[in-house]
Chain A
């Protein structure tokens, strides 16, 4: 890799140990992916919940936070993905004091590095939406696929260590989606069925993600007749990234790099695969469970927007959640503040639901929470969550928000 003078100095340790580590780390990654050099980035976003960090990861961050101030502060605006704990509610969720203590140590380390604790995976809706062409180092696959696809920004999936390295140096290796040639479509899908609900959009994203199946493939999708909004594409992208590790999609006539099919591909070179109603039905059938007792209904992954919070409050008005079922609505601290001001939080909680902020269900010791609370059957409108949560010992059911709420009230999957 070609390094300029400043980068060489950072690598030599002249800017302190954290920046030396960062350059060394990125050099290994850049070499792995044949990056010719580094590209400057304008923002970094880091995923670092304590469940995945563990004691070892927290100690790693604390060691970095112990460096002299001049050496350790990040060089560009840097924010955080959801945490594993909502300190107001962790005891009610039967999370432990040890989990809370690890979380607090992590927060202390991040703040010492100059990182802003936004605790959100919907920063593109709430904090600072990137602009087209902006180079970024974002963590959280849902954030990256949205910013690449819907906003036309340029980011690879940055795991915590690489995000941190980018924040400390203001650059990242130039490979993957930082290069224009890797943003062209390599697979083409024609959708014969029109999604209606957010869970429909998630299911469609999941199907296309699973069929695309690789970080290095880019699907272009044709046939969508309606105009999706931000929440629709949030669920679509998050599920696609989850099921297929896909970081970029093009929706013809909708996303900015694909005004036409020709603009992102040679249409003659790509054979269109059909996505049919039967494919979608089969997807939902994998996450059935009709008639089963439902233990917990979860709205999370991604965190809810203010408008999703409003929809949920509307559905729960004058209703009571079944006494053997829990309902959790998970959002960002910024949205939670607005939702509280608008009365949505009170309306959700007066029905027996619980609004959690700054966390994400599956990043919050989901296995331990499930065991402690006796949660097995989990119902959600997030296709992304259904994909993940089976690995944590849950039986997931996927349906739209209306059915999820009706099931929470009935105490069984309706």
Chain B
């Protein structure tokens, strides 16, 4: 089993661990999700049809949608939410939303493209206060 440590900018939210679901696509809670079913619903999204519940999500960046700031809080209140979201680069809305929802979120990874550094199925621990993400792979 290999363990990789990835350094990133200091994030928001608590320390969490979970299974990664990775795409080089982008993210908006408003545009891309069926938030009741907990799946990606926009047909053009690369994760269309997949569940995001309790996953450590990894995206390239965030899109449009000021609403996402409320939506993360609403999703977390029903426990139909990701455990953490990691980006190469996030916009203010998602960071604001993570702060309200107390959801782990980090971006700006030192080693490069996080959508390549982490693979779907990896076991990931996110420590936003330290700016540290640990990846375990069989």
Contacts and interface: CB of A to CB of B under 8 A. Distances in A.
30 contacts: A25-B96, A25-B99, A25-B100, A29-B92, A29-B95, A32-B10, A32-B95, A33-B92, A47-B70, A53-B74, A56-B76, A57-B73, A141-B64, A141-B66, A157-B66, A157-B91, A157-B93, A158-B92, A159-B68, A162-B69, A214-B91, A215-B91, A215-B92, A216-B89, A241-B64, A242-B64, A242-B65, A245-B28, A388-B64, A392-B41
Contact of B32 (A33, A54, A157, A391): A391
Given A53-B70, A53-B74, 7 more contacts: A32-B9, A52-B70, A56-B78, A158-B66, A242-B65, A243-B63, A245-B64
Interface in A36-61: 47-49, 51-57, 60
A241 to B, nearest CB: 6
B33 interface: yes
Contacts of B90: 215
Contacts of A81: 66
B104 to A, nearest CB: 12
Contacts of B28: 245
Interface residues of A, number: 48
A403 interface: no
A323 interface: no
A159 B92 contact: yes
Interface string A357-399: 0000011000100000000000000000001101111000000
B85 to A, nearest CB: 13
A363 B71 CA distance: 12
A176 B64 contact: no
B67 A157 contact: no
Nearest to A363: B67
Contact of A245 (B29, B33, B63): B63
Q: Which 6 A-B pairs have the closest CB atoms?
A: A159-B69, A56-B77, A54-B74, A215-B91, A391-B42, A52-B67
A213 interface: yes
B96 A161 contact: yes
Nearest to A240: B64
B58 interface: no
A28 B99 contact: yes
Contact of B64 (A49, A60, A387): A387
Contacts of B77: 54-56
Nearest to B45: A391
Nearest to B42: A391
A56 B74 contact: yes
B62 A215 contact: yes
A159 B93 contact: yes
